[in-house]
A and B are shown apart, each in its own frame.
Chain A
Amino acid sequence: MSYTPSALQLQREEAKRRASRRSTAVALLSTLLVSALLTIIVANAQGAEAVRESFFNWYYAKKAFPRILDGIFLNLRVLLIAEFFVLVFGLSIAIARTTTSPVLYPLRLIATIYTDVFRGMPLLLVLFLVGLGIPGLRLPYVPNSAVFLGTVALILTYSAYVAEVIRAGIEGVNPTQRQAARALGLSQPQTLQHVVLPQAFRNVTPPLLNDLVSLQKDSGLISVLGAVDAIRAAGIETAQSFNFTPYVVAGALFVLLTIPLTRYTDWLIRRQDRAQKAQGAF
């Protein structure tokens, strides 16, 4: 159906367009003002020249780049493996905590203690305890490499966070959904797999991805155990030149590493907002 908008509607649309042009102009102007102000403040600081020399030196950036790039590939490998295991363990712990059967009480207890301990303990401490403690045990077949142990520490800590997020998702699914599934004759595990978990994951995708972004940047912490990742590589370069530019390079690479996932998270949140508004639930 096509129709001619009334003069009133045309007027209204013109006013809307004017308002939107004005907001764009205001946003542009304020951005310009703020960046000018910041530039003036930073450039006029007493140590500006010295900082630029030791943190933003193009020569050292180019020199350190290949080594740091090698390092970031190690981070990438570590975080991919860690993300996989974190999701598997996080899901298992979350399911264990939401069971109700008396037989599984010990499992619930262990899962609860586990999440309490590893959510409370600073990641740096876990890294030291695992990275230095496990080699001390001299266990057979357990590799003593810093990369392996660092990854284990990351998995231990982040599984606890992710488990709590997934558990919140499971408990957020309306009980009537579970009831409807059981009324159809689905068993408890079938209900969980086909009805509860798909909805739970949908509800918690943004916070879940947020935790994964955090895991990505924290993969740099394995450098404290001596693994030559991007941060460690930057440290080695800095030790040779006494110039801090390599750290800035490593930082920039970490940001680049996390940007795809952060943008994806934002996009997902926006899409969910829209979907909810479409259903009239504000």
Chain B
Amino acid sequence: MRKPALEFRDVSFSYGGKKPVLDRLNMTIYDREFITIVGASGSGKSTMFRLITGLEIQSGGSILINGETHENRHGKVGYMPQQDLLMPWRTVMDNATLPLELGGVSKKEAKNRILPLLDEFGLSGVENKYPAELSGGMKQRVSFLRSVLTGSNVLLLDEPFSALDAITRLSMQEWLLDQWEKREKTILFITHDVNEALFLSDRIFVFQDTPVHTLQEVVVPLGRPRSLRNLNDPAVLRWKDELIEQLRSGVPL
């Protein structure tokens, strides 16, 4: 058995005494897994990310990152938000160096570490440009590079491709899988898109009703490496219908 990268043990949480969002939730994610989380808006997906990153503190239970609990979880995982959230006043290079700077690495050393990565992230030649000069896909790659450079093996990606056009989105998905394998990361990926979930992940967690007590889990019946054509396998199509059905039942009309 692989070792767990992220564990929830009886985690409960509510925002300021309101209706609980999580209720004694248990969950284990193993090292180098790719997990997607699907669910209707307001089903607690983003709350889970806020708990893992330490922006919110659970009211009960414990959250373990690489087998350890932390008093303060800030800086323990890499987080890539929905909007790219690049600093408009920093160049691509300076945006990427940010997590290294915060970790006390000198600017020069940070640049030396990033230079060889630029090519792989499709960013060579634009390192001195400002975010406003980049395309949507490029901005997301900078944002992903920045989260990778936090140095954590656990990356949380919150609907990172939702703002991209369909074609860019497909190539970003393939690129992300490449990077995930090469960099040996554990990824948690929130999405609304069932196709995206099936294509990318090992397991899919479905968030349904709050408070979330148990997660419904789907093991994606596809090997790796995969191509987009695999999404037409009968087994996958069955799951797709099933998932869409479940998500729809969670949406009040």
Question: A and B, one complex?
Answer: no
